[in-house]
Chains A and B, each alone.
Chain A
């Protein structure tokens, strides 16, 4: 499709699409944070964006929820323009920001009461707080909360206006494993209630287990966007066979087996990456034929993390 046809197409609302972003761009001075991102989110899905630090996740989200003004591009949220219809939009979306604070001496209950009066329709604070395990903290000052409790309070605040779409930026960073799991349950519960969830995370297992669709972002661009399963299937090896082989060198023979894509050794650990399970059978046959003494033998499924590292590289970013 040429560009003009594309732009024309944007004016037609797609059924069930609640967030629509086309060619979003945003720079801070010389630094280009978002460099042409396009995506669509359907009603009732959990949509995740993952990416290294500084990939443009927060900026993308900020532009969608009208916290920042994009340099160029088209954004529509529930049919609303974030720039010109900001207030109407903020009535209908809930936002948990990565970096935000409340006054130190504000109590949890007071914060909930204050923010609920900003919305036309608001939910009962006690219900939300108990869902987030904050029922016994209602009289605590904000400054007395732990990092995880603060995060849960901001999630509670994002839900107080009974939003149609909830935006979570780094929902579970800084949370202990129990809180992470209960946060996942909460997110799934929101989806079951018919709400749409748009989240960013840098935990790959979280994206894989929680999200219906995932966009991998790197250097301000989307490098892949699909369901976690499809991403793993199309971008990663299906399986890794991990073998503990202390004193035989059979790497070359392993590599010659059809379906084996890559073999490498780390100390006594030999890993063969294979396309499918038939190659695993061949590997086992070889090991039996050669009477190899095995210290360990197991297979590992590729994960979204493998896809992520493959697509974004392994060097450390700032």
Chain B
């Protein structure tokens, strides 16, 4: 059981890295953006604060990786599996389809971690990034955010009648979150009404939580964010469990 699971996860992982667009948008693009903005704003502490732009923004770029694997990566793989009949081949083997799904999620999780580590390495070695939080709390927030956004990705994968419409719905979820929840651009740059609007985007809460913890906050300082993320996770997985079909 464990051997099958790890082999499948490994296979999914390798397949993801071989897909040039997946590789670029999850691992390279966030890094490039961070380097770009970092080279503009540097990491000098803001006046009256002990942190600079990179210390503040690294969480946003981590959020971007979470978004890309959770929404885009998941929908793309599931759409391909369903539409092309790859799962049909797996169904003819003595394994549970759930195992395939678990492996898919796990491999995306590993890729998310890789994306995060790349950002952290660049932050530390290029910009001399600071860290004021507690590692277990940040790890917990990272896992919660990843699960929550992946669960969100399951909603179009479960409810959309065709793979194509699933992709469209996932894009409709992806781009607003990319630009409005602070992932690609700091939310502070947005006009006030968009800042208010961005509160309905789950990724906004993930990024706020990660940012807060990174700069020395504690989990109990963020009840709203944690509630929203847990809520999204539960709703997403309940919808997936109820409506998800392989064919």
Q: A100-B88, A110-B11, A118-B4 are in contact. Are A105 and B94 (CB under 8 A)?
A: no
Q: A114-B7, A114-B8 are in contact. Are A100 and B86 (CB under 8 A)?
A: yes
A99 within 8 A of B: yes
Stretch from B14-22, B149-157, B170-178 that touches the partner: B14-22
Question: Scoring A residues 168 to 192 as 1 if CB is less than 8 Å from chain B, else 0, what string do you get?
Answer: 0000000000000000000000000
A64 within 8 A of B: no
B-side contacts of A161, CB under 8 Å: 93-94
A237 within 8 A of B: no
Size category, A interface: 20 to 34
Nearest CB in chain A: distance from B245 CB, A? 14
Cα-based distance from A65 to B89 in the complex (angstroms): 12
Nearest CB in chain B: distance from A174 CB, A? 16
The residue that B18 contacts in the complex, of A88, A99, A105, with Cβ under 8 A, is A105
**Which residues of chain A (125-178) have a CB below 8 Å from chain B?**
154, 157-158, 161
Nearest CB in chain A: distance from B82 CB, A? 11
Identify the closest chain A residue to B3 (Cβ): A117
Identify the closest chain A residue to B10 (Cβ): A114
Q: A114-B7, A118-B93, A119-B94 are in contact. Are A100 and B15 (CB under 8 A)?
A: no
A87 within 8 A of B: yes
Contact B3 A97 (CB under 8 A): no
**Which residues of chain A (31-88) have a CB below 8 Å from chain B?**
65, 67, 87-88
Contact B89 A157 (CB under 8 A): yes
Q: A117-B4, A117-B7 are in contact. Are A110 and B14 (CB under 8 A)?
A: yes
Of the listed residues A91, A103, A105, A115, the one surrounded by the most CB atoms of chain B closer than 10 A to its CB is: A103
Contact A97 B19 (CB under 8 A): no
Question: Scoring B residues 16 to 38 as 1 if CB is less than 8 Å from chain A, else 0, what string do you get?
Answer: 00110000000000000000000
Q: A117-B4, A119-B94 are in contact. Are A100 and B18 (CB under 8 A)?
A: no
Size category, B interface: 20 to 34
Cα-based distance from A224 to B75 in the complex (angstroms): 47
The residue that A118 contacts in the complex, of B14, B15, B19, B94, with Cβ under 8 A, is B94
Question: Scoring B residues 77 to 109 as 1 if CB is less than 8 Å from chain A, else 0, what string do you get?
Answer: 000100011101101111110000000000000
Contact A114 B11 (CB under 8 A): yes
Contact A100 B85 (CB under 8 A): yes
B-side contacts of A95, CB under 8 Å: 92
Contact B95 A97 (CB under 8 A): no
A-side contacts of B92, CB under 8 Å: 65, 67, 90, 95, 97, 100, 158
Contact B86 A101 (CB under 8 A): yes
Cα-based distance from A302 to B7 in the complex (angstroms): 53
Q: A97-B85, A103-B80, A119-B93 are in contact. List 10 more A-B contacts (CB 8 A).
A: A90-B92, A90-B93, A101-B84, A101-B86, A102-B89, A110-B11, A115-B93, A117-B4, A117-B7, A118-B93
Nearest 6 pairs of A and B residues by beta carbon: A90-B94, A105-B18, A100-B89, A95-B92, A101-B84, A118-B93
Query: A residues near B, CB below 8 A?
Result: 65, 67, 87-88, 90-91, 95, 97, 99-103, 105-106, 110, 113-115, 117-119, 154, 157-158, 161
